[in-house]
Every structure is written in structure tokens, then in C-alpha cells.
Amino acid sequence: MKSRTIHIIGAGPAGLVAAINLAKAGYDTIVHEKHDDVGSRFNGDFQGIENWSSANDAMSFLKKIGLQVNFLCAPHKIGHFYGPNLKEVKIKTRRPLFYLIERGVAAGSFDQGLKQQALAAGVQFLWNDKIEKVPSEITIVGTGPKAADVIAKGIIFKTSHPDAYYGFLDDRIAPKGYAYLLVNNQRATFATCMFEDFRNSRIYFERALKTMRKIVNIDIKEPAEFGGFGNFFLPSSGRKNDKSLYVGETAGFQDALWGFGLRYALLSGYLAAQSIISGRNFDRLCRQYILPSLKTSLANRWFFAHLGNHGYRWVLNRLNKSGDAINILQKHHQLSFSKQLLFWLAKRWYHTRLIDKQCMHKDCDCIWCRCG
């Protein structure tokens, strides 16, 4: 007889989406979380649910996978971007470029919103429960990133600045990545996201902060530092054995281009639930609905990593002249024939950091290594 009890290890977005859908379908769903609440990895920093990779708006996507919007979810259509020359490029889009959300344990955060939906559906949580062995029943594993392929170092703070978002492309402040400022309701997040040279993250952050303050007249009150990291790799299989389904960054489901992987994580949790409910093969579902996007993001990562500062100016100018950046971004996120060829080149070039490395810093506070 098919088991009606499903265990989920990890109360991240992917695990919670799976739990919500399974509980609504009548399964006894148990979530094991090693912390005492959801969102414990985060510090109240703002992130975004991207809205440029698909023709489907993110709000329609959330509804399709069984979620309600009971959390901060602020649409943004106008952004201020700066390349290495610090010349402003104002980008407008016909629909939101992204939806701003908050991560962490505070009321109104994305994580707390998903937890409330899970509790309402009848999901059982076991807090401070670090699983050493996968339970015998069918198990969904969503324990988060295994190592740092991209890191973010930044601050959250209070401000009187009006709501806005800013982006910065410059390898001198964010090697092969970007820096960003998000302001919402007198609170703000500023960070630099880097894909290389993690050891010097503090130096890059200080440069980025100095650059941002040259451009933006913003008051910074009660700043608090935070750091985060993401992990990307191409999964060989979504199902490691007959009873364990791996979702989210545990399975490598992340955006290799800019680290906007929430939609991948949420979709993988939904597909895991649907595979259990319908009996369809989880690995095949992932290969159909997620793998093409992963391949495209890796091809885009290779291209972006080779642009350099001169290339960033070209990218921003092209987006500015497009009239609607969504059109160009959607095109570049489709697995075309040319992107398929570029993917095979990128696959040979890219190496994930699946094992965290120790650093040599005294009194280490690094984001990216086991010491920190």
C-alpha cells in the first residue's frame, strides 16, 4: 500500500511548497527543520522573485503552484542602473521586472508567509530536528545550498529614502556579478553579489558602498551586516534513490546567471509533490520543466562572465534602447539552438564549489567557508 505519510527535511521555500501541496492533497506531511523557525538563514534582507525569464507573470506562477500572497510582495517596474562609468541607465518595463520580498523570521516575510500557509493546510513541523538518517517513508530533501558558488555581502538599514531599486555592474565592486540597493517602506538592503574572489569580499563591499553613496543620496540608520550564498550545479538526477526526492539548491536548482533562483526552488517543490500525488517520475518532470532553464542560465553565466566592464556598458545600453527590457531578457532565457551550443561550452568551463574550502584568515568571518 502506498504510504500516506511524507517526510520533508528542510523548511526552505522548496520544502514548504511541497508540504503545502501534499497536505492539501490529504497526505500526512511532516517537516523536519534543524532551526527553531523558518527563515533562520536570513536577516530580514530584501530579495526578489524575478519576473523576466518566463512569459508567465510571477503572480500567476505562484497561484499555479498553490501559493497565496500573504507576505510582502512589492512590484517594481522602474530601475536605476549604473555601469563602471557611473552613468545612469533608467530601465522601464511593461510589467514588474521583479517582486520585492523579505527573507527571514519577521512577520510579513516570505518564509513566514509560507509557514502560515503550511500550518493552515495541516502540515506538522518538528523544530530543532536535525535528521542524520533519511526516514524509511518517502522523503523530500530540501536542506539548502551545499557550498558557495555566489556570495552576497551587505547591510540592512533604516532610511527616509523613498521606495526604489538600483543596480550596479562593475567588476571592481562585484567581480563577475552586481551590486544592488533595494528600498521599501523606510527599510533598505544594500549588497554586492560576487562570483569570484570571495576572500576579498569585505574589500569589494566597502568599495561598493562607497560607489553607491556617490550616486544615491541616502541616509543609513542602524546598519546591520548580513551575508548569504548560493549553490548551482547541474543535477545528474532529481531522484537519488527510490524514496528520496531532492529539491531546491540541494539539487542544484539555482540561477547561474545572477542567483535569482527562487522560482526554480518553488517549482521543484511543487513538482516533487505532484510526482508523489500523481505517481509521475520526479526526475522526468525536472528534466522537462527545470533543466532547460538551468542550461540557459549556465550559458548566460559564461557569456556574462566574459563581458568585463566594457561589456557591461554595452548590456545596459542595449536594455535602455530596447523600450522594454523584459523582451530582451525573456529572449535570452529561452533554450534556443545557439544557447544549446553555448551551454556545452559553458558546461566544460564551469566548476561548482561542491566542497566548502577553509580560508587562511585570522579570526575568520568569511561568508563562504566553513570557519565563518
Q: Is 105 left (phi over 0), alpha (psi -120 to 50) or beta?
A: alpha
| Distance between CA atoms of residues 122 and 14, nearest Å | 17
What is the structure's pLDDT at 2? 58
Average pLDDT over the chain, rounded to whole? 92
| Residue 78 near residue 91 (C-beta atoms within 8 A) | yes
Average pLDDT over residues 347-366: 65
3-class SS of residue 99: strand
Bridge partners of 150?
230
Domains, the chain, ordered by start: 5-73+106-146+232-294 (3.50.50.60)
Tens-digit pLDDT profile for residues 18-38: 999 999 999 999 999 999 999
Amino acid (1-letter code) at residue 297: S
How many C-alpha atoms does 75 have within 13 Å on its Cβ side? 12
Average pLDDT over residues 298-321: 94
Sorting pLDDT into bands at 50, 70 and 90, what band is 352? confident
Sorting pLDDT into bands at 50, 70 and 90, what band is 237? low
Q: How far is CA 245 from the centre of its chain?
A: 20
Tens-digit pLDDT profile for residues 209-223: 999 999 999 999 999
The label of the residue with cell 566548476 reads 351
Query: Which whole-number Å values give the CA distances from 89 to 131, 260, 358, in the listed order?
Result: 48, 21, 39
Name the residue among 118, 26, 108 with its Cα closest to residue 66: 118
Sorting pLDDT into bands at 50, 70 and 90, what band is 365? low
Higher pLDDT, 354 or 87: 87
| Residue 44 near residue 102 (C-beta atoms within 8 A) | yes
Sorting pLDDT into bands at 50, 70 and 90, what band is 51? very high
- How large a percentage of the chain has pLDDT more than 90? 84
Tens-digit pLDDT profile for residues 144-154: 998 889 999 99
Average pLDDT over residues 83-93: 94
Tens-digit pLDDT profile for residues 72-81: 999 999 999 9
What is the structure's pLDDT at 136? 66
Tens-digit pLDDT profile for residues 262-299: 999 999 999 999 999 999 999 999 999 999 999 999 99
Q: What are phi and psi of 235, to 5 degrees?
A: -70, 140
Rg (CA), the chain: 20
